Amino acid sequence: MNSTALTTIHMATDHAGYVYKEYIKTFLEQKGYKVIDHGAYEFDPADDYPSFVTLAAKAVSKANSDDELGIVLGASGQGEAIAASQFPHIRTTVCYGGPMAKDIVLAGKAHNNANVLSLGAKFIEEKDVLELVELWLNTPFTREERHLRRLHMIEKTEK
């Protein structure tokens, strides 16, 4: 990962992850990341995650750079990951807490070079969320041949 000052984080959520998005956004800005907030901009129980998540994913996809990443949030993180992964060059890893959360985040980045982290806000405790984000941001892609080969195979199937 390049220096924090050069990294842009695109964030998005619906109402289910709104509080965590604001919390993470403040944390990242204090760490020196450039954060682009694609919404939601207020807590609205009637909003829908695709309206926001697709904007963040599209920005990461268009940049297609290790210096532009995405963090999306929702109740489980599953639908958000599906929405984000509709764009070329997007590799989303899903984390929804639990005893293996760090291992999931670590593998997602180290093995799959995940450029979008999807967090299940209903399942992650506040005390853990920043640690998971920081672990994901600070974990390098291993660049092992088997992982590169697999990513290349995936890239060949992209629209």
Residue that has been written with the tokens 């390049």 in this structure = 2
For residue 37, CA distances in Å to 100, 156, 157, 159 come to: 28, 30, 30, 26
Give catalytic status of residue 89 as yes or no.
Answer: no
Catalytic residue of the set 22, 89, 111, 147: 111
**CA 14/CA 72 separation, integer angstroms:** 9
Q: Are the C-beta atoms of residues 77 and 105 closer than 8 Å to each other? A: no
Torsion angle, CA of 124/125/130/136, rounded to 10 degrees?
-30
**CA 126/CA 129 separation, integer angstroms:** 5
Give catalytic status of residue 111 as yes or no.
Answer: yes
Beta strands, E only, 33-138:
34-37, 68-74, 92-95, 116-120
Residues labelled as active-site residues: 80, 111
